[in-house]
Amino acid sequence: MVLQAALEAGMDIPHYCYHPSLSVVASCRLCLMEMKVPDPKSGELVWMPKLVPSCQTPVKEGMEVRFNSPAVQQNQQQCMEYFLLNHPLDCPVCDQAGECYLQDYSYRFGQPTSRMVEEKLKNPKKDVGPRTLLYQDRCVMCSRCVRFTDEIAGTHELTVVNRGNRAEIDVFPGLPLNNPLQGNVVDLCPVGSLLDKDFLFKQRVWLLRETKSICPGCSTGCAIRIDHNEGVIYRLKPRFSPKVNDYWMCDEGRFGWKYLQDGDRLTRPVVRRGGEVFYPRWEDIPEIINYRLRKLAEQQTPTAVVLSPMLACEEAWLIASYVRALLPQAVLVASWLPVQGAEQNFPVGSPAEKARFTIRPEKCPNRRGVELLINKLGGASSTLEDLIKQVKEKKIKAAWITGGYSQRDWVSKELAAAAKELELLVMQDLYANALTDNSHVLLPSCCWAEREGSFVNQAGLIQPFERAVDGPEGTRRDGQYLYEIAGYSGLYRAEKVRERMAEQLAEFRDIYVAPDPPEHQH
Amino acid sequence: MSWKAYDRNQPVMDPQAPPVLTEAVREKIRSFFPRYETKRAVLLPALHIVQELLGYVSYQAMKEIADLLEIHASDVLDVVSFYTHFANHPKGRKTVMVCRSLSCELMGGKAVLEAVKNTLQIQEHGTSTDGQYFLVTEECLAECDHAPCLKINERTYHQVKATDVSRILADEKNAELSIARSSLFDPPGH
Ligand code: SF4
Ligand code: FES
Ligand code: FES
């Protein structure tokens, strides 16, 4: 379509109803352009007197169009005037202010004053679902939200009621907007009409800083953006990623990160020696670990390294290669897999190969990354179940176990019982559990938003993510202390570590970074 | 929250209420299925049938139609609210539509409207006390050559004089058609 091509060429063409992943309805009329057509008599190409919607006109060889003519600009002005007829002037209390296309477009294409002298129509606010509010008076009737529930989610909750200037967005009373992807309608809404109750009145959006990340919620690995201010995360938003999540993300990921703000995270390293408890400084940790592991090596103690699918590839590599350097026989084990429910494909009811979005049951971001690493590093490997047996049979006497799950109860009774038999247990985790309580060296972990690295999603794409915020006071990023333990000095940068990894493991050379969509597309 | 927001999470109908569509009505709706590729396409005939039965299309009826056609109830609400022909609240059994457009206006449509109002003792969008009549005005009934016009349900009256109104309204069978209805409403065999 001409509109898409123009946006890709960097032009700022106003549009509301057009969205690259939804069907085209050409109803907002903001994107109209002038186009040349053959004159019926002479066959010569002339400017057509009527304007045509650029979002609905396919690009053709030799076609001539223009957006900078007075007719086009007049249409934009008139459309904006129409959109603003009944729009309240409530930007100061509107959550969307600052990322609102009604604001941007009236500034760029509209008129400074309104000619409307009549009373504005006041439409009610509607509570359309457990997570979403609809401010009907701010709506521009682009119907993006309706098309999303029809075409992507396949759940059809939202609809247009009435018609013409009385048209409204609504749900059938009692059948609220309540599907696992509904947060996306808030992103899609170009104005402040559909709002997220969770984010409502929490922050002005221009205070937020954006960090590119990857959602750790399931093995799909959606590209996301973390919006944060002064070290506090306020919301997650999807980023466009054509190979993974398109423009969407699920609510589980969008709202499921709150655990990282819980007050009971582990924050300081602990060393337990013969019933005594010490709280060492972070600076001393590399020496403590080195000393303990060298002793294992001297005594040739059979050791296992349990790598969690919550770890970034770089972190897993740092641990595994460090331990293997001292103890070449060390067994590498992929840790517990959080699996929950079944695969959910959208639109609801569509088969997996036709799905436009999939929520996967594997609720961790990096199983494939950890497995890839274990395979490529070669040597002894095992499963968590076998490991428990081997510990009981005294075939494994020391272990370095990593957790980092949001599920606090991830440690099974068998694992906890086995851990008590170990001569040395080095433990990395977020929250206290049976393993951390019995560990000899405890290293508090950070959450994914507080770290950087890369995850390998279910399709095998290696996707880097950046750090948004710091962990709670006292913590250090896992990458940083692992880097120091492994004998490097300076600041841990995932990219540098990845380069080192790639020298050894060629697979980690090709990372996938989703392209940014055109600046003026929304 | 400190402001007013309509709560759309709660149903407006009683979830325990018995169904409003009788088996006969359902059967009549189903008889349209073979005519179209999708069941969704039967929505308009279904709405006509239900409105004729109940006088309006209640939320309960919308839900039942949706279930019958295997579509979402919001899609039924969309169509019901789009067409002014369908009402989602109770109204008189017969709808009197008086034309208010140009030709009829010139030929005395206003007087006809006044006569209807006086006879039934109602205003526009009002229902007579006996629940028989509901009054609206319409923009051109497409019978300008017989202006002024008035319609009761599907039956049109041509060149109506204000003095005819009370006689027309008194007639019990004033909404009955003298010709067979379009098969869009009554499929053969019904
Ligand atoms: S609520 Fe937002 S997305 Fe939906 S029609 Fe209105 S402006 Fe468009
Ligand atoms: S008409 Fe083209 S974007 Fe709305
Ligand atoms: S103006 Fe009344 S029928 Fe056309």
Contact status, residue B47 vs residue B89, Cβ threshold 8 Å: no
Before B148, cis peptide (omega within 30)?
yes
Domain boundary among B35, B56, B82: B82
Tokens at residue A387, please?
A: 């490991």
CA B174 to chain centre: 16
Cα dihedral A486→A489→A495→A500 (10° resolution): -50
**What pLDDT was estimated at residue B190?**
57
Largest CA distance in chain A: 100
B182 touches chain A (CB under 8 A): no
Q: What part of A 138-167 touches B (C-beta under 8 Å)?
A: 155-163
Structural domains of chain A, with CATH? 1-83 (3.10.20.740), 270-509 (3.40.50.740)
pLDDT of residue B183: 74
Rg (CA), chain A: 28
pLDDT at residue A243 in the model:
95
Tell me whether residue B40 is in a domain: yes
Instruction: Produce one character per residue of A200-222: b if its CB has 16 or more CB atoms within 10 Å, e if not.
Output: eeebebeebeebbbbbbbbbbbb
pTM score: 0.91
What gap in Å lies between CA B175 and CA B190, rounded to an integer? 19
Q: What is the pLDDT of residue A22?
A: 98
**For residue A234, which amino acid is it?**
Y
Task: Check CB contact of B4 with chain A, cutoff 8 Å.
Answer: yes
- CA–CA separation, A407 and A392 (whole Å): 25
CA B175 from centroid of its chain's CA atoms: 12
Q: Which helix (H) or strand (E) segment is A65 a member of?
A: strand A65-66
**pLDDT bracket for residue B189 (50, 70, 90):** low
C-alpha B99 – ligand 3 centre gap (Å): 6
Q: Do B159 and B99 share a domain, yes or no?
A: yes
> Which among B57, B82, B107 is the end of a domain?
B82
Query: In total, how many domains does chain B have?
Result: 2
Residue B9 lies in a domain: no
Q: Encoding tokens for residue B18?
A: 């018995």
What DSSP assignment string belongs to A343-392? Answer: -EEETTT--GGG-SEEE-SB--S-HHHHHHHHHHH-S-EEEHHHHHHHHH
Return the bridge partners of A383, or none.
A334
Is B13 within the bounds of a domain?
A: no
Given CB atoms, is A173 within the 8 Å cutoff of chain B? yes
Is B11 within 8 Å of chain A by CB?
Answer: yes
In the prediction, which pLDDT does B3 show?
Answer: 67
pLDDT at A123: 83
Q: Specify if B5 maps to a domain.
A: no
Q: Measured in Å, how far apart are chain B's first and last C-alpha atoms?
A: 53
In whole angstroms, what is the distance from residue B35 CA to residue A257 CA?
Answer: 51
Q: Can you give the CATH number for the domain in which B28 is found?
A: 1.10.10
d(CA B134, CA A391): 84
Structure tokens at A255: 């709202």
Whether A55 and A85 have beta carbons less than 8 Å apart is answered as no
Tell me if B72 and A156 make a contact (CB, 8 A cut-off).
yes
**More confident position, A293 or B184:** A293
Q: Which ligand does the CA of A6 lie closest to?
A: 2
Q: Which of A94, A133, A143 to mutate to test the pocket of ligand 1 (most atoms within 8 A of CB)?
A: A143
The low-confidence residues of chain A, meaning pLDDT below 70, are: none
pLDDT confidence tier of residue B5, bands split at 50, 70 and 90:
confident
pLDDT at A42: 92
Decide if pLDDT at B186 tops 90. Answer: no
Measured CA to CA, the distance from residue A186 to residue A205 in angstroms comes to: 14
Please list, in sequence order, all residues whose beta carbon lies within 8 angstroms of the beta carbon of residue A166, skipping any fewer than 6 positions away: none
- Strand-pair category, A398-402 with A303-307: parallel
Residues B121 and B142 occupy one common structural domain = yes
pLDDT one-digit tens code per residue, A358-378: 999 999 999 999 999 999 998
Q: Are residues B42 and B103 in the same domain?
A: no
B7 within domain boundaries: no
Domain extent at residue B55:
23-82
Indicate if B153 and B120 belong to the same structural domain: yes
**DSSP states along B25-89:** HHHHHHTTGGGSSSGGGGHHHHHHHHHHHHSS--HHHHHHHHHHHTS-HHHHHHHHHH-TTS-SS
Mean pLDDT of chain A: 95
- What's the CATH number where B133 sits? 3.40.30.10
Domain presence at residue B151? yes
Decide if B175 is inside a domain: no
Please classify residue A339 by burial: count the beta carbons closer than 10 Å to its beta carbon, then call 0-12 exposed, 13-18 middle and 19+ buried: middle
The SS3 of residue A110 is coil
Of B5, B12, B76, the CB nearest to A133: B5
Question: Cα of A514 to ligand 2 centre, how many Å?
Answer: 26
Q: Is residue B137 part of a domain?
A: yes
Contact A170 B74 (CB under 8 A): yes
Q: Which two tokens stand for residue A409?
A: 């109860």
